[in-house]
Structure 1
Amino acid sequence: MASRAGSSMAERKRRLVADELRDAALMLLATRGFDAVTVDDIVAAAGMSRRTFFRYYASKEDVVVRFLADMGTDVVAELAARPGSEPPSVALRHAVWVPLASCTGHPDHAERARVVVRLILDTPALHARWLERQIQWRAGLAAELAARHGLDPDTDPYPRLAAGMALLAFDTVLQQWRAGDDEQRLAELTDRAFAMVAPALDASHGAHEPDRRR
């Protein structure tokens, strides 16, 4: 038990260091732009060494990629946690709201997050990684939707189509996110986007009832 506790503590410490490096990197990227920031800048801002940085990240681009990976993990995990009786549009709306909500807890944090998102969308190299990650998110969401509704994702088009529509709504919200938008405004954008795709997401809800054995 002592060994497991020590391992858990070490893991928390590693996560804390990784998060501090990520936060420093994202803050610099948001204020200076991707090309202007170096690894030396990041470690100086975090008060750490280059050796420590490369223990956790392969490059400054890898920081952004890991940030996107965590975002996708949160979305899929939230969908899995939603009640099986919820209409797909409601469950998916809650799922994609998780990373958005984490960005809007504090006005300064929200604006920094918005700038980072804008940086990702506007920097070709980062946007390419964004699109790569969305392919993985779509696969994860589709697998969860198939499981929730007892469908075969290899033969039924609904899970992939629904996952794709949810991510398109999410991407639309990010594209419309403007400076000064608070949590309420971002929630309104999200509600509006999902209201538009809800009829398609829920059209087959009666035929795709959740598998009650889960």
Structure 2
Amino acid sequence: MTVKAPRYHRAVTTRPESTLAQRKRQLVATELTEAALQLFALKGFDAATVDEIATGAGVSKRTFFRYFASKEDVVVQFLAGMGADMRAALAARPADERPSEALRHAVSVPLAACGDHAERVLPVVRLILRTPSLLARFLEHQAEWREDLAEELGARLGRDPEADLRPRLAAGMALTAFDAVLRRWSAGEGTEVTEDPVALLGEAFAVLAPALDASP
């Protein structure tokens, strides 16, 4: 089984790769990620070794550790751009939009990317959710995303997240919906998915909207 590195396999930057060195570094990172994902799909995460990943990418083990601190980091960076994308999407929403609508649109950005590239993304999402060490790292990322969204939402609402519970609670509810949808979408064992993650998110926010939009 060949798993090509999907959109969220590495840290995302909006700055162009302007130098040869930067382009070369990105190429090596991509090769390492693709080699790792293929090996994980073939052998399982625990059985695959850093030596095998490096060999598959045609580089040394030392080179691997210049780019990643561990095997976990290879997979976790698959999702590294999600938090930045959600915050940027929330910041771009109309200022007078209801919190539920703004948060739904923000959280839908990475889920839409997953749905659009399901064949490549699904194996990696399942790997993350079903491997305890990777799941722990993923949850760490979600905690960071919650703080970022709370800060952005607080700015939109004119509320300090440190003094007001609402921004952090709202961000937490939005990410709970994100997590629930991702788990539902990736459930099962087949390579095909029958549900649209963005549609599932709409269902989740239909439940959350009254609480998110309630006046204090």
Q: Which residue of 1 aligns with 2:43?
A: 32
Give me the identity figure in percent. Answer: 62
**Segments of 4+ moved more than 6 angstroms:** none
Larger mean CA deviation between 55-64 and 163-172 belongs to: 55-64
User: When the two structures are superposed, what TM-score results if normalisation uses the length of structure 2?
Assistant: 0.80
Larger mean CA deviation between 171-180 and 36-45 belongs to: 36-45
Quote the Cα distance in structure 2 between the aligned partners of 1:197 and 1:173: 13
Q: Which residue of 2 aligns with 1:15?
A: 26
Contact 1:138 1:164 (C-alpha < 8 Å) held by counterparts: yes
> How far has the Cα of 1:10 moved from its partner?
3.0
Quote the Cα distance in structure 1 between the aligned partners of 2:167 and 2:89: 16
Q: Which residue of 2 aligns with 1:134?
A: 142
Q: Which residue of 2 aligns with 1:211?
A: none
SS in 1 for 2:94: coil
Length, aligned pairs only: 197
The correspondence of residues 1-214 of structure 1 with structure 2, limited to 5 A, is 8-106=19-117, 110-177=118-185, 178=187, 179=190, 180-181=192-193, 185-204=196-215
Quote the Cα distance in structure 2 between the aligned partners of 1:45 and 1:194: 43
Quote the Cα distance in structure 2 between the aligned partners of 1:75 and 1:57: 24
SS in 2 for 1:103: helix
Contact 1:43 1:53 (C-alpha < 8 Å) held by counterparts: yes
Residue segments in structure 2 that go unaligned for 5+ positions in a row: 1-15
Residue segments in structure 1 that go unaligned for 5+ positions in a row: 208-214
User: When the two structures are superposed, what TM-score results if normalisation uses the length of structure 1?
Assistant: 0.81
Cα 1:31–1:68 change in 2 (3 A) is same
Question: What's the C-alpha RMSD, in Å, of the aligned pairs?
Answer: 2.3
SS in 2 for 1:153: coil
